[in-house]
Amino acid sequence: MELHSQLKAAVGELCRGFPDAYWRELDARRAYPSEFVETLTKAGYMATLIPEEYGGAGLGLTEAAIILEEIHRSGGNAAACHAQMYIMGTLLRHGSAEQKKQYLPKIASGELRLQAFAVSEPTTGSDTTKLKTLATRKGDRYVVKGQKIWISRAEHSDLMLLLARTTPVEQVKKRTEGLSTMLVDIRKSLGHGLTIHPIRTMVNHATTEVFFDDLEVPVENLVGEEGQGFRYLLDGLNAERILIASECIGDGRWFVDRACRYAKERVVFGRPIGQNQGVQFPLARAYANVEAASLMVAHAARLFDSHQPCGAQANMAKLLAADASWEAANAAIQTHGGFGFAEEYDVERKFRETRLYQVAPISTNLILAYLAEHVLGLPRSY
């Protein structure tokens, strides 16, 4: 526990060096927070989950969640780099000894950035197993053809983990088979079959569209066994969901904080607006929901760290936290009245940012569909 308060204080101090104005200015230019990411990396926070033998801190998801929550709690946005923390999990769990030795120490030091994970495709969406990007084995290489969309941070990453079909769907018994994960060396591949186009979105998220035109990937870049990629994807998702949920908790606390501060100061009709129940009740409710969601996030992280099944809890954590932060965002912008729309109050920026988590990395409906089917035993709906 002492480590946790220590961690929170230290990350908080680091974030004070990157105040609202820093994020606001980047947002206006849709620019990448290089200086923030570099500072965080140098201080070792991106290597939280990497075991000590590979140069990381060897800590758990609980600690990683504290770090990400604190970044969001202080008004920043960890989306620019959070994936550097967890994408390596696939390599760690399923990579060969040589791959781990080759990559993990460099990922831990930040020398190698592995923070792009290419799953989503334009025509198949949430129906992941239908993805069409094909990697065909030719001698000692795969030749990759296809297209991915919403691949975040690809322009700020050295390696990309790719999920592609290695056996055509008509040749497998189950659709979940025949998918594989492999590492693409972005630096070597650009201009040799790999093209990356940035997509401008309503948030400053450095997301891109990625095209594979007969890109050659050496066979030794395959992570784990050929055809088992979907299984590897699934067991990495819990970590991602819990960590993104922790960011939502940070956002939620930031919204409640800022809104309460404003509600105490803003005087209309001769009294602070926060004295009106119509203003304070939504904030009180948002607060309660954020606190409740944070318990589920902590619970899921604890299960994950003690190697217990946590699929349902990780999904619920993501659902509840994303809903709580979105509700808090709404209450905060309403509390600020017209000023909530002004860039210099940062509420509209955080409002846009936290909205994303209703859709990515998994949309709310798909979590509900998962819970209905796998936890409640209802017929599969999708």
Partner 1 sequence: MKILVCMKQVPQKDAPLKLNEGGTWIREDVSYEVNEPDAYALEEALRQKEKHGGEVVVITAGPARAQQVLREGLAKGADRAIHLDDNAFVGMDAMNISKAFVAAIKDDKFDLIFTGLQSDDYGYAQTGVIMAELLGWPHATIIMEIQKSDGGIKVKRELESGFFQHVGMPLPAVLTIQSGINKLRYATLLGIKQAKNKPLRKVTLDEVKSSLSDNMQKVEKLYIPQKSKKTEMLEGSPAEVAKKLVEKLRNEVRVI
Ligand X SMILES: Cc1cc2nc3c(=O)[nH]c(=O)nc-3n(C[C@H](O)[C@H](O)[C@H](O)COP(=O)(O)OP(=O)(O)OC[C@H]3O[C@@H](n4cnc5c(N)ncnc54)[C@H](O)[C@@H]3O)c2cc1C
Number of residues that bind ligand X (CB under 6 A): 23
**For the packed helices 311-335 and 277-305, what is the interaxial angle rounded to 10 degrees?**
160
Q: One symbol per residue from 168 to 207: x for binding ligand X (CB under 6 A), - otherwise; what is it?
A: ---------------------------------x---x-x
Mark the segment that binds partner 1 (CB under 8 A) among 6-14, 124-132, 149-157, 228-236.
6-14
List helix spans (H) across 185-276.
186-189, 229-265
Which residue of this chain has its Cβ atom nearest to ligand X in the complex?
125
For residue 332, what are the CA distances in angstroms to 203, 221, 248, 282, 345?
18, 47, 14, 9, 11
57 binds ligand X (CB under 6 A): no
- Binds ligand X by CB under 6 A, chosen from 143, 361, 372, 373: 361
* Half-sphere exposure for 73 (CA within 13 Å, toward CB): 19
The three-point CA angle 307-234-70 to 5° equals 65
CA distance 61 to 297: 10
254 phi and psi, to 5 degrees? -65, -45
**For the packed helices 20-29 and 347-355, what is the interaxial angle rounded to 10 degrees?**
60
The token duo for 320 is: 């509840």
| Amino acid found at 318 | K
14 binds partner 1 (CB under 8 A): yes
Instruction: Pick between residue 19 and residue 125 the one whose CB is nearest to partner 1.
Output: 19
281 binds ligand X (CB under 6 A): no
- Binds partner 1 by CB under 8 A, chosen from 26, 37, 59, 283: 59
- Binds ligand X by CB under 6 A, chosen from 12, 17, 125, 198: 125
Instruction: Pick between residue 121 and residue 348 the one whose CB is nearest to ligand X.
Output: 121
CA distance 277 to 260: 13
Q: Which residues, numbered 133-172, are part of the site for ligand X (CB under 6 A)?
A: 150-152
19 binds partner 1 (CB under 8 A): no
Q: Which residues, numbered 30-49, are part of the site for partner 1 (CB under 8 A)?
A: 39, 42-45, 47-48
The three-point CA angle 112-113-114 to 5° equals 115
Instruction: Spot the catalytic one: 69, 70, 121, 240.
Output: 240
CA distance 265 to 299: 36
The token duo for 373 is: 């089917």
Instruction: Pick between residue 45 and residue 103 the one whose CB is nearest to partner 1.
Output: 45
Contacts of 96 (CB under 8 A, 6+ apart): none
119 makes contact, choosing from partner 1, ligand X, none, with CB < 5 to 8 Å by partner type, with: ligand X
**Residue the block writes with tokens 């990411």:** 37
Instruction: Pick between residue 8 and residue 352 the one whose CB is nearest to ligand X.
Output: 352
Q: Which residues, numbered 258-287, are part of the site for partner 1 (CB under 8 A)?
A: none
Instruction: Pick between residue 51 and residue 227 the one whose CB is nearest to partner 1.
Output: 51
Burial of 123 (0-12, 13-18, 19+ CB in 10 A): exposed
Contacts of 263 (CB under 8 A, 6+ apart): 272, 273, 274, 279, 280, 283, 335
Instruction: Pick between residue 334 and residue 358 the one whose CB is nearest to ligand X.
Output: 358
Number of residues that bind partner 1 (CB under 8 A): 19
DSSP annotation of 48 reads: T
Q: Is 2 a catalytic residue?
A: no
Instruction: Pick between residue 216 and residue 257 the one whose CB is nearest to partner 1.
Output: 257
233 binds ligand X (CB under 6 A): no
Mark the segment that binds ligand X (CB under 6 A) among 114-122, 255-263, 291-299, 319-327.
114-122
Query: Which residues of the chain form contacts with ligand X (CB under 6 A)?
Result: 117-120, 125-126, 150-152, 201, 205, 207, 356, 359-363, 365-366, 369, 381-382
Catalytic residues, by residue number, are: 240
Query: Which residues of the chain form contacts with partner 1 (CB under 8 A)?
Result: 2-3, 5-7, 9-10, 13-14, 17, 39, 42-45, 47-48, 57, 59
